[in-house]
């Protein structure tokens, strides 16, 4: 405290020497802000999950960040206009660079986004389920402009190995899980589009059918190899169809329902315990089940009269864009599959055990 008192006294003395004995101090002219650099969200509800931005040249890029910074997924890439005066608030409409965002699973599809700078805070709006939230960023301490540009260059020109590590499919899918937003029961009056500003946001869900029974089809906006083709029904349906189906949904995906009147999207938690027993839907290797070689079995009765009905499996590998299919039936019950981290397993079940519920059916993966 003594040192701080001395410094305060010296500063007071210097001001007096340079300004005379006037009781009114001259205010320093406000400087034009420099927005170039790294920014981090200051109003996130989670310490290890937030948004961060990089402003360089005439571009701003915003990322979803999780795992204390180990995982980054692009949310926005758009134009940046630097302020020309010190007046605040300063705003500009950032134009979306769709050449970057269209291929990013977690990116916004909006054409423009209004950015505002005031009182050292950069803010913009993010809409989820009709609720608009203002994200606030504060500039991170940094060295020279050259250092900042070098950091940006490292992000853009990372080596292939580092790029795969940072943007591995498992990291992206885990990040997608943080965006899942629970819905109330929804009446199906037409196609359901998945989007930041739609009733259903991107995320991982247990789709629950609460009215009717029929087909669930759809179109993927980007990952076309993950087909949307399911059959489901409300609990107690006479077809024995499942009432819940695990689904991975991306920005721009479209769901089409036939003879289904009501649904509910139950958000899957951000963190889940891996299991060796999986039901119907889409599951992620490294998240829902650990990588490895597995011999298949099941807890349900398979009718040998239907040698082509039972469990159908499609394993999608995003790194090479390839899929491989496998069947597990009453007459094809000696099956081993190999699962790699980040792969997505799509599992469907044809119920031939009439009177039983598909909700209780499990495909069992035993270490081989």
Q: Binning pLDDT at 50, 70 and 90, where does residue 289 land?
A: very high
* Structure confidence at residue 256 as a pLDDT band (50, 70, 90): very high
- For residue 146, is pLDDT > 60? no
* Ranges 47-61, 181-195, 233-247: which has the least confidence: 47-61
Q: With H, G, I as helix, E, B as strand and everything else as coil, classify residue 312.
A: strand
> Once rounded to an integer, what is the mean pLDDT over residues 37-55?
87
C-alpha 238/C-alpha 232 separation (Å) is 11
> Average pLDDT of 126-136?
66
Average confidence (pLDDT) over 36-56:
87
Q: Per-residue pLDDT for 165 more than 90?
A: no
* Cα separation, 110 vs 196, whole angstroms: 9
CB 208 within 8 A of CB 263: yes
87 close to 72: Cβ distance less than 8 angstroms = no
Q: What is the pLDDT of residue 251?
A: 87
Average pLDDT in the chain = 83
Burial code (b: 16+ CB inside 10 Å, e: under 16) for 219-229 equals ebbebeebbbe
Taken in order 290, 295, 299, 302, is the CA torsion positive or negative? positive
pLDDT on residue 270: 87
Residue 151 has pLDDT above 70, yes or no: no
pLDDT at residue 229 is higher than 90: yes
CA 217/CA 245 separation, integer angstroms: 13
Average pLDDT estimate for 52-59 = 94
Q: Among positive and negative, which fits the CA dihedral 37, 43, 47, 48?
A: negative
**Residue 290 has what pLDDT?**
97
Tokens read off for 97: 């660079």
Whether 293 and 308 have beta carbons less than 8 Å apart is answered as no
Of 126-140, 248-262, 268-282, which gets the smallest average pLDDT? 126-140
pLDDT for res 130 = 43
- Whether 131 has a pLDDT exceeding 50, the answer reads no
pLDDT greater at residue 357 or residue 362: 362
338 or 13, higher pLDDT? 338
Residue 346, pLDDT > 90, answer: yes
- pLDDT at 276 (0 to 100): 97
- Token pair of 161 as six digits: 């190995």
The ranges assigned to domains in the chain are: 37-161, 177-367
Query: Binning pLDDT at 50, 70 and 90, where does residue 127 land?
Result: low
Q: What is the 3-state secondary structure (H, E, C) of 42-67?
A: CCCCCCCCEEEEEEECCEEEEEEEEH
Given a contact cutoff of 8 angstroms between Cβ atoms, the answer to whether 280 and 353 are in contact is no
| Other C-beta atoms lying within 10 Å of the C-beta of residue 132 | 10
Per-residue pLDDT at 288: 97
Q: Is the peptide bond before 219 cis (omega within 30 degrees of 0)?
A: no
CATH for the stretch 37-161: 2.40.128
Query: In the Cβ-directed half-sphere of 252, how many Cα atoms lie within 13 Å?
Result: 15
Q: Which residue has the tokens 């498992």?
A: 170
| Structure tokens that stand for 340 in this block | 């790699």
> Partners of 139 in the beta sheet?
39
- Cα separation values, 127 from 39, 95, 248, 368, Å: 20, 17, 20, 46
The 10s digit of each residue's pLDDT in 292-326 is: 999 999 999 999 998 889 999 999 998 888 899 99
pLDDT band per the 50, 70, 90 thresholds, residue 8: very low
The torsion defined by the Cα of 223, 229, 231 and 232, in degrees rounded to 10, comes to: 20
What does residue 17 show for φ and ψ, rounded to 5 degrees?
-65, -40
């Amino acid at each position: 405290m003594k040192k701080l008192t001395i410094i305060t006294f010296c500063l007071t003395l210097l001001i007096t020497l340079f300004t005379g004995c006037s009781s009114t101090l001259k205010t320093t002219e406000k400087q034009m802000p420099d927005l170039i650099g790294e920014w981090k969200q200051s109003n996130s509800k989670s310490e290890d999950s937030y948004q961060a931005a990089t402003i360089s040249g005439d571009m701003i890029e915003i990322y979803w960040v999780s795992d204390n910074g180990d995982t980054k997924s692009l949310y926005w890439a758009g134009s940046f206009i630097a302020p020309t005066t010190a007046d605040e608030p300063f705003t500009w409409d950032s134009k979306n660079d769709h050449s970057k965002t269209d291929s990013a699973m977690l990116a916004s599809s909006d054409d423009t986004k209004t950015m505002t700078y005031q009182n050292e805070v950069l803010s913009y709006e993010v809409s989820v389920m009709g609720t608009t939230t203002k994200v606030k960023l504060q500039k991170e301490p940094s060295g020279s402009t050259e250092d900042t540009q070098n950091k940006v260059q490292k992000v853009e020109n990372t080596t292939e190995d580092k790029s795969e590590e940072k943007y591995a499919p498992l990291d992206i899918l885990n990040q997608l899980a943080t965006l899942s937003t629970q819905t109330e029961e929804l009446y199906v009056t037409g196609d359901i589009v998945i989007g930041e500003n739609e009733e259903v946001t991107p995320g991982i869900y247990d789709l629950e059918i609460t009215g009717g029974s029929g087909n669930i089809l759809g179109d993927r906006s980007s990952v076309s190899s993950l087909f949307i083709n399911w059959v489901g029904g409300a609990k107690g349906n006479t077809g024995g169809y499942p009432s819940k189906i695990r689904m991975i949904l991306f920005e721009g995906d479209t769901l089409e329902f036939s003879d289904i009147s009501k649904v509910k999207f139950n958000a899957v938690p951000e963190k889940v315990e891996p299991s060796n027993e999986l039901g119907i839907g889409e599951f992620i290797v490294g998240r829902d089940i650990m990588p490895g070689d597995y011999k298949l079995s099941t807890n349900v009765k398979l009718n040998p009269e239907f040698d082509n009905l039972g469990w159908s499996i499609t394993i999608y590998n995003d790194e090479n864009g390839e899929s491989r299919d496998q069947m597990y039936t009453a007459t094809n019950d000696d099956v081993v599959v190999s699962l790699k981290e980040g792969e997505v397993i799509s599992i469907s079940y044809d119920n031939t055990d009439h009177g039983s519920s598909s909700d209780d059916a499990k495909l069992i993966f035993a270490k081989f």
